Structure 1
């Protein structure tokens, strides 16, 4: 039964008992919703019993609506949620014509709207995650290939591999790699359109516009702000996402304005023309202006030198990549190589990737119980170590927000180490990470490795202590709790005596009785299933089967077991003992624990139950009775624990 069906069942119960206004309070036990009614005359018992999902109705001090184990807690919770109270709390009485459920729903909606608005920042991060997560498998596969190609290329450039033998192999690997990385803007456009509700194919075209395909290099498009030539990819991935967001807004309006007969022709044409022009002549040029201004800032930082320069450049490189601003660094690299034989800028910038690796390791350790996060990190980490940062950036750290910032700062620490030690250069431009080691000039690769280790450590420490979002910690803690509740022991299952029949054993010393001897009609009539009852002689409740403890009711008066044979068993100690709220019951097992026949499940204070005025007679019910052809009671009268009392024939 889904949550919606549980809520529907709860609402149907309310409808036939006079509404929530006729209820003082609501609790539930192992099998039934228990309602304290204000006016019994408002209950329509015939319609209540006829509700699909209601197994029976018991009229007692409280109205008991039997819906069965497994469902009862969900149905009861949905009913109190409708009213806005907790289980066991008194229901408010309303005046006027507005129903309590409707009024509560209105109040809750207003409260959520006022106090629980998601921040714009969180919405942006969620959208970024939705855009890039589907691409992670491609990032990982292509990234591994790119990393291998980079190492081979760098070793060939350094003269450690024969060019004639390896050139074509490296070219083939790069062709495969370029299938995603060269056209990332297109994939981003498609996924962004899906996320924002625009046409995916049109979003892909908007992304492709930033590649400036078909532009004559001899006659480049000019930046309207400073007259400089536009570069392919200028504006970066963030520019593509922003452009596609504008596309979604425009398309939605055009769909409302354009007649259906013309929609398929007019909407994509106008959308592409307007957004394409804005992308080329507004979004990309703005990034170009920022790039131009940064050139002077970077040159200033480089002239200052030392650890300060290393920290600033290592920290800011990844944000520059996101906005497509790293293109301005290419001529600086080339000029350095031409004048000095190496670029001392590239090893520092490579530390940004090291910070991402350290941050990812911290997320893995801190959120290790959240398998979703761990799987993403495991896939992206090897690629990041090889110098391909997209999977870590877009799939792991950026969607979470804070880890991206601490990763950038970790990269700054690595950059500061290299900047402080100084004079570490690369003889050619290539990927970062360990793939850059063969290109380090003058045998100073060990300093570069120290920088990498510093970036790893900085990203790890900063993220571990300051970069884990609270909501991610909460999810990991919830996952840890769920795992702890499913304790698996290595006890082997007892063999089934016969393939067609199973035996259930006595859980108490005492007297075995037919179910009809019980005072509760739900159990006595077999409404919950067939079984047997016990009048216990002592308070030691033992397991009647070998299997798993599936449920221990919060008030501890009932336990559900799943036998290895498939039998689902309910042990309900006493009648109406839910009202004791756990007094007199001491469980010795937990949910998820494996047990054998004779394992002590619970110690029960029989005298305390009797003193409170409740019977101690305990039914043992086979909840999945319908799975068996016959449930035979094979022993009545005096019984000891471990004696067979039921035979189940499939």
Structure 2
């Protein structure tokens, strides 16, 4: 069952963090399980990174285990279900096992003191503030994504309606979509107030009221409430999210103090009233005007910087965003994005910052091409690249580029190039936050999506070229199996390859073999046919195909094709003679399930389609579909690399064969 998979992953995480008893709280975002750890000394990050499905680990205020979108919510739920709490709820206190000796007690206390000291050093006021901001907005991310995409669809349909490409009957449906989107952004301050109250320890309902009063409900013209500083009427929503967060923090301080001062018998009556009255008045007359000035100044400064700085500003922002993510500083941008959307209808920052993810994609593509022998790295890239293209960059950052070092830097360069393009074009903004990468395209404001695409392609190209030429470390190109084991060249057994004049020749050549089909790679010893499993005709490999397309395993020339079309032979420029045998005992099928796309004496390249197998027909006939690739003149071979059984795609590297040229 699917749930077993996520529970297994969750149990694997618990096993290397000191168990559930070492967790105080667990939440998740789009890609990460975030755990508040009691004793960090019990966390084994090296072992944690090896848990199947874990793409990376980050230790900040919380321990962040990256497992990717679509998986993270299921793993997190499985982990809290194991303990019997809800997401975000405190884990129950666990009684520690009896201490067996005084020495054990001392060691336990020492570990506790070390962890507390470490936590104290890390918990600066700035990092604490960022942590709070992150916790306030993480629960809203699905809402931003969902409402934003609905808004994007509404915008596309509205444009089609205006252009006359849709009948007027669509107008009502478009209005409904806008109403759904408005359900988030119209009342966003209230949601932020509730989340902020939960985070700061105030009553959630009171936080929602503080968030709602900035809309000035009940104030109807000609009645106004004036700004105490400018004596101009306050505008509904003035101060926005920044003001709400600060006001709710004050609410938490006041409410906690009142709980201590007011007797229990009347606490439920007077504490909420006094808290709301004091903070409400403070919010209306002081926080709204001041926060409004701060918000408008921030938005104005950012817009001025983007307009004046152009390509230069875009390059700096695109280049610096990934390091900001690493330091956790990107969290402060969320309220700024939202203030820009409220003020001018879009955030001009997000498209530029999204280029950092594009640089990651380009870097990953370059690594894939240059490090094809590193099967472990290729596996990570394959898993992380699709979501990276859609704007979820953590798997690529923490699973691929950051551990290698240089690719992270060259990916940042790609982000800077994309940011420069966006800044040079100018006036490109997003109508919501949450999505990034290609997923942000339908959410670009004012029909500027084409400029955004140009920037995204530039970031791909910049990250690719910078990484391909300057960012690939030698260690990443070492051949490894999918589990990270280094693959060493294996000398061919002299019993299999007797010394012959050709084997003793002085010059050697290497031939790269690729998979002739997608499917499961196997050793010949696993093939249920003694001729092949005992290597009577030569050595090589087998594939149980998942698709019927068959490609050439090497560069070479087609020598012969069996009349029954189930097998053909090839030669290479290095002198190897190769048999490609499609299926076992399929000669009896008289060629019916096979289509050959090449002719004898035709030159082919590795990965070029040479045949097609009708897999269902072969299976119906009771035959095995296994494709055999063997070198029939093993006396010509001096060394072969090893390989591991694994799932593989057509054209993917399998092994490298060193042979002797005629001297």
Larger radius of gyration between Structure 1 and Structure 2: 1
Q: TM-score, normalised by structure 2?
A: 0.41
